[in-house]
Structure 1
């Protein structure tokens, strides 16, 4: 058998574009577009609501975006207690689907594929034709 030699030249511009597009798509998936997951969570009315402060405290922590990690944060002193206690009897006059563990459907449940579809669509669009 003969030897085969191959020379590979990487298109650094394309790789940088794809990488940057992935970071931007991730940020838009969670909070940057009108179809973002954060907006979808609000529309689903799953966050317990009395005064609305818990919902208003929600934001996306993008400090680790370059590493591919974003977090949805609810920044109130009682957010953790409400989240981890689904057995509480949450009032439903303001948010009809109020519950504990309100992010689980998007993290590991029925809506997990929504995040993947939104990210994929945005990544393709932002990559400028480098991803088919």
Structure 2
């Protein structure tokens, strides 16, 4: 007969720190995505309101694992879902509808958020 004993000591302060780091990394990843999209110059740009003032990261649910990149301009939905419009390209040469498509699954930059989150999380927790 074999007897085995184990003692497990959980480091609750470290677990709490790692959990908080998940939310913090998620928030910073969303901010990085917003910056990436602005720098890609894909937002329709007339006055700059949609890109600069009306689009922001909502972190109110980050502790539940959800952040939202939201646009509050009343025309945002209309111009996003109608890529057939002829967008002015003076300020943003790549302006178009469906401006997040490159970062969605199947897009040319669909791994951006996963990679950014991984790097940010590792930096926060010190790995």
Distance in structure 2 (CA, Å) of the matches to 1:95 and 1:54? 12
List per-residue Cα deviations over 1:54-106 (Å, max 9, x = no partner).
11211001111001111111110100101111121212121111111111211
TM score, norm. by length of structure 1: 0.85
- CA distance change for structure 1 residues 3 and 89 in 2, over 3 Å: closer, same or farther? farther
Task: Name structure 2 gaps, 5 residues minimum.
Answer: none
Segments of 4+ in structure 1 off by > 3 A?
Answer: 1-9
Aligned residue for 2:84? 87
Match of 1:44 among 16, 40, 48: 40
1:59 is aligned to 2:56: yes
Matched residue pairs, number? 125
Q: CA RMSD in A?
A: 1.7
Distance in structure 1 (CA, Å) of the matches to 2:99 and 2:45? 12
Distance in structure 1 (CA, Å) of the matches to 2:28 and 2:77? 25
Task: Name structure 1 gaps, 5 residues minimum.
Answer: none
TM score, norm. by length of structure 2: 0.88
